[in-house]
């Protein structure tokens, strides 16, 4: 694995997104947009990867523990041996189950690597119809289902080809990927009921743009052009959590980035992240992360001397 042209990497558990929740990480090289990650959700300070989307397709294979995934409005628990193929551009999040490791391998690949060139028969006949089908936000591949397990094995072959040492590694990866993709598009399609995630993305975008400000349901529902009641109901129907739970998670994630990458004081970070007081920020952070903001900063920036504050 270490001697190949490509090397599997540890996924960035705390990911950065823009205001639309599009992930900012470049997955793979533009000349060959494929990459494999090995990681565990237990490494995440908060125990989850928050809502985001990316243009790449993502195949996830769980190796240890259980992982809870939400894609658009659908929720599923992945057991060891289960796979999940997430469609391009679909809003999703993941979290480990309590007291479990949630270890997985993830294959990310841009649709362009399958499309050959715009207008090609590969693109128009075999790639775009699957990508653009609103009824297919994902494909759940259970280890206990023979047809699903066969597709999991094909994707694991892609991962193995990525990590093997061969002179024509890119060709081996692409051939293996096409075999897996062929199985996906020929799989007997079961109807997937999924509520479009447009409303959730609108709400999340507004929250991201105003994270450091006081946020009210009146403001958020107005941005979504809905009543407060309907906005709350539909957001929870899609994401499985309330708007204010999502705001708290987003503010905590933003604070993690500032703690790692800025020289701001804890008080400055609290207000920049949208918390009304420093003491409320510290208590909320401790409850979610099991440590204080100061301890988290010292652990992740041992070379940094933080300015003392009085709370």
Q: How confident is the model at residue 10 (pLDDT cuts 50, 70, 90)?
A: low
Mean predicted confidence (pLDDT) in 286-306: 81
Other beta carbons within 10 angstroms of residue 188's beta carbon come to 5
pLDDT digits (tens, 9 = 90+) for 16-47: 888 888 999 889 999 999 999 998 887 777 88
Mean predicted confidence (pLDDT) in 73-88: 94
pLDDT at 311: 36
Q: What percent of the chain has pLDDT over 90?
A: 59
Q: What percent of the chain has pLDDT over 70?
A: 89
pTM above 0.75, yes or no: yes
pLDDT at 55: 95
Q: How confident is the model at residue 8 (pLDDT cuts 50, 70, 90)?
A: low
- Predicted confidence (pLDDT) at residue 277 exceeds the cutoff of 90: yes
Distance CA 127, CA 122 (A): 6
Residue 33 dihedral angles phi and psi, to the nearest 5°: -80, 65
Please work out, in degrees rounded to the nearest 5, the angle formed at the alpha carbon of residue 113 by the alpha carbons of 112 and 117: 55
Other beta carbons within 10 angstroms of residue 47's beta carbon come to 17
- Predicted confidence (pLDDT) at residue 222 exceeds the cutoff of 70: yes
pLDDT digits (tens, 9 = 90+) for 122-166: 989 889 888 888 778 899 999 999 999 999 999 999 999 999 877
pLDDT at 53: 93
Taking CA atoms, 195 is separated from 37, 63, 140, 215, 236, in Å, by 29, 29, 17, 25, 11
- Predicted confidence (pLDDT) at residue 12 exceeds the cutoff of 60: no
pLDDT at 9: 58
- Predicted confidence (pLDDT) at residue 213 exceeds the cutoff of 50: yes
Mean predicted confidence (pLDDT) in 101-128: 90
Q: How many residues does the chain have?
A: 311
């Amino acid at each position: 694995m270490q001697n190949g042209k490509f090397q599997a990497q540890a996924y960035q558990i705390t990911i950065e997104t823009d205001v639309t929740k599009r992930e900012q990480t470049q997955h793979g090289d533009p000349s060959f947009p494929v990459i494999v990650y090995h990681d565990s959700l237990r490494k995440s300070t908060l125990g989850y990867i928050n809502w985001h989307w990316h243009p790449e397709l993502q195949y996830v294979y769980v190796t240890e523990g259980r992982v809870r995934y939400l894609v658009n409005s659908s929720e599923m628990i992945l057991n060891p041996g289960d796979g999940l193929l997430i469609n391009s551009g679909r809003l999703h999040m993941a979290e480990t189950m309590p007291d479990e490791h949630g270890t997985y391998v993830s294959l990310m690949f841009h649709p362009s690597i399958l499309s050959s060139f715009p207008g090609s028969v590969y693109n128009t006949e075999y790639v775009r119809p699957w990508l653009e089908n609103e009824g297919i936000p994902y494909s759940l591949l259970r280890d206990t289902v023979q047809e699903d397990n066969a597709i999991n094995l094909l994707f694991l072959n892609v991962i193995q080809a990525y990590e093997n040492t061969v002179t024509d590694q890119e060709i081996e990866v692409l051939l293996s990927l096409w075999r897996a993709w062929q199985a996906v598009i020929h799989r007997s399609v079961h109807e997937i009921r999924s509520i479009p995630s447009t409303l959730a993305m609108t709400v999340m975008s507004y929250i991201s743009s105003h994270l450091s400000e006081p946020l009210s349901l009146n403001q958020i529902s107005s941005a979504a052009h809905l009543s407060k009641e309907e906005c709350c109901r539909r957001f929870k129907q899609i994401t499985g959590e309330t708007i204010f739970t999502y705001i708290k998670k987003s503010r905590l994630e933003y604070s993690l980035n500032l703690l790692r990458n800025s020289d701001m004081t804890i008080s400055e970070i609290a207000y920049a992240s949208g918390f009304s007081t420093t003491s409320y920020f510290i208590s909320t952070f401790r409850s979610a992360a099991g440590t204080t903001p100061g301890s988290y900063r010292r652990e992740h920036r041992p070379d940094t001397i933080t300015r003392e504050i009085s709370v």
